[in-house]
């Protein structure tokens, strides 16, 4: 601004000089001089102004570039800081996401590896059933010996019938027999008629597969009643044994003894199957707790239960509405696979029981076939025996 003031003063002085000179020296030369001086002054002023403008422009450009440089540096720094902050935030978020994913994976894996509440119960049932099955098989021999002894002990048919009649009247008097005056009927006796009713072989009066215990001292248990039923059905009134040893030495006596032995062998087949059923209902001490089925839902509490009752409760538990619903809505394969493994292992055990049952049925069919063949060939065999006896004479 100060330079502009000085320039204006110089211009004014110059104009005054020109004006004076024009007045003193009028004429053509003066006009030319004035024109030259005016042109020079204009050119000088224009150059001066242009230079000042260029200087100011350069100064402004320099300042602008400096400001832009500073602004660019500041903006670049801020952008760098923002980028680093964003990167740090994203890395933190990714770390949190991975940590949460690991936590979810751990929870899911724990849920998959965690055994359901029924696993211990399923294992206990199958372990208990395996042991109960072995115990039942070992106990069958006692029933077999009892049936065989009943056949072999008939040395006097009259005494045998009297003892059998008295035992039935004292322990199993039925309502019908009581009405006929054969015995004294007791309405509180749950085993009334049990020695002639197949129901007591398969279940208790309450519906349980476990036989009823003894009602008191001197009273039989249902297990004993089932044994008496088997003897009534299998043994009946067996052939009387030879009373004197002299008859054992005769050919007829020896033939009779062999027929008795064959008879005993034949009835042992049916006795064996019936005793298998009987042992399946025999209560085993503590089996309810061993199999964890003593307090199964929907059943009365039983601590001492039979193998058949344990099977019945286990099947009912596996096919309960809750278990079926859980399997129907299950989305994780491990739950379905565990249930399938449990049921398959139980199915394998049942297949083995079925195989044992089939072998007994096959044996009885074979015995029936032998009897049928004997009955069919008996006339021919007797005729051949008579012909052989005549030829020997």
Question: Which candidate, 124, 150, 116, places its Cα nearest to that of 339?
Answer: 116
The tokens for 302 are 């039983």
pLDDT digits (tens, 9 = 90+) for 184-237: 999 999 999 999 999 999 999 989 999 999 888 889 999 999 999 999 999 999
Q: Is 154 within 8 Å of 238 (Cβ atoms)?
A: yes
Q: Does residue 6 register a pLDDT over 60?
A: no
377 or 109, greater pLDDT: 377
Predicted confidence at residue 10, as pLDDT, reads 53
At 260, list the tokens. Answer: 């008795």
Q: Is 113 exposed, middle or buried (0-12, 13-18, 19+ CB in 10 A)?
A: exposed
* pLDDT of 370: 87
Distance between CA 232 and CA 229 in Å, rounded?
A: 5
**Mean pLDDT throughout 317-324?**
77
Quote the pLDDT of residue 375.
86
Say what the pLDDT of residue 69 is. 64
Q: What is the DSSP string of 246-311?
A: GGGGSHHHHHHHHHHHHHHHHHHHHHHHHHHHHHHTS-BTTHHHHTT-TT-TTS---SSB-HHHHH
Question: Tokens standing for 21?
Answer: 């000179």
Confirm if 126 and 292 have CB atoms less than 8 A apart. Answer: no
pLDDT at 77: 73
Let me know: does 185 contact 178? Beta carbons within 8 Å: yes
pLDDT band at 112 (very low <50, low <70, confident <90, very high): low
Average pLDDT in the 319-334 region? Answer: 73
What ranges do the domains of the chain cover?
A: 2-86, 125-392
The alpha carbon dihedral of 250, 252, 258, 264 has a sign of: negative
Model pLDDT for residues 33-75, shown as the tens digit of each residue: 556 656 665 676 667 666 766 666 666 666 666 666 666 667 6
pLDDT at position 54 is 67
CA-wise closest residue to 189 among 203, 175, 176, 210: 175
Rounded CA separation 245/241 (Å): 11
Q: Choose the weakest-confidence range: 104-108, 147-151, 236-240, 279-283.
A: 104-108
pLDDT at 335 over 60: yes
| CA triple 23-28-30, angle to 5 deg | 40
Statement: residue 88 has pLDDT above 90? no
Helices (H) and strands (E) in the chain, counts: 12, 0
313 within 8 A of 307, measured Cβ to Cβ: no
Q: Give the pLDDT confidence score for residue 138 in this predicted structure.
A: 87
Assess whether pLDDT exceeds 60 at residue 377: yes
State the pLDDT confidence band at 117, using cuts at 50, 70 and 90. low
């Amino acid at each position: 601004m100060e330079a502009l003031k000085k320039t204006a003063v110089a211009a004014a002085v110059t104009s005054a000089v020109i004006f004076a000179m024009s007045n003193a020296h009028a004429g053509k030369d003066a006009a030319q001089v004035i024109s030259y001086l005016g042109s020079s002054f204009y050119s000088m002023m224009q150059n001066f102004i242009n230079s000042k403008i260029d200087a100011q422009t350069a100064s402004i450009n320099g300042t602008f570039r400096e400001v832009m440089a500073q602004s660019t540096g500041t903006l670049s720094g801020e952008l760098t800081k923002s980028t680093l902050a964003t990167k740090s935030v994203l890395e933190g978020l990714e770390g949190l996401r991975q940590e949460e994913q690991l936590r979810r994976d751990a929870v899911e894996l724990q849920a998959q590896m965690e055994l359901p509440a029924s696993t211990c119960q399923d294992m206990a049932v199958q372990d208990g059933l395996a042991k109960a099955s072995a115990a039942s098989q070992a106990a069958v021999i006692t029933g077999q010996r009892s049936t065989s002894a009943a056949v072999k002990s008939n040395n006097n048919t009259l005494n045998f019938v009297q003892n059998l009649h008295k035992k039935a009247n004292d322990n199993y008097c039925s309502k019908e027999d009581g009405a006929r005056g054969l015995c004294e009927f007791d309405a509180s006796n749950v085993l009334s008629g049990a020695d002639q009713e197949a129901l007591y072989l398969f279940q208790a009066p309450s519906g349980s597969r476990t036989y009823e215990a003894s009602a008191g001292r001197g009273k039989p248990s249902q297990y004993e009643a089932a044994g008496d039923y088997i003897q009534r059905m299998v043994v009946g009134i067996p052939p009387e044994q030879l009373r004197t040893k002299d008859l054992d030495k005769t050919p007829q006596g020896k033939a009779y003894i062999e027929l008795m032995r064959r008879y005993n062998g034949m009835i042992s087949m049916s006795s064996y199957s019936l005793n298998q059923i009987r042992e399946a209902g025999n209560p085993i001490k503590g089996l309810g707790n061993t199999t964890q089925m003593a307090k199964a839902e929907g059943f009365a509490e039983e601590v001492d239960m039979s193998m058949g009752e344990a099977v019945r409760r286990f099947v009912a538990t596996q096919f309960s509405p809750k278990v079926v619903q859980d399997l129907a809505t299950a989305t994780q394969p491990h739950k379905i696979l565990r249930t399938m493994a449990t049921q398959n292992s139980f199915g394998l055990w049942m297949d083995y029981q079925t195989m044992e049952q089939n072998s007994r049925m096959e044996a009885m069919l074979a015995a029936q076939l032998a009897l049928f063949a004997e009955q069919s060939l008996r006339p021919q065999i007797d005729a051949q025996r008579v012909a052989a006896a005549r030829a020997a004479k």
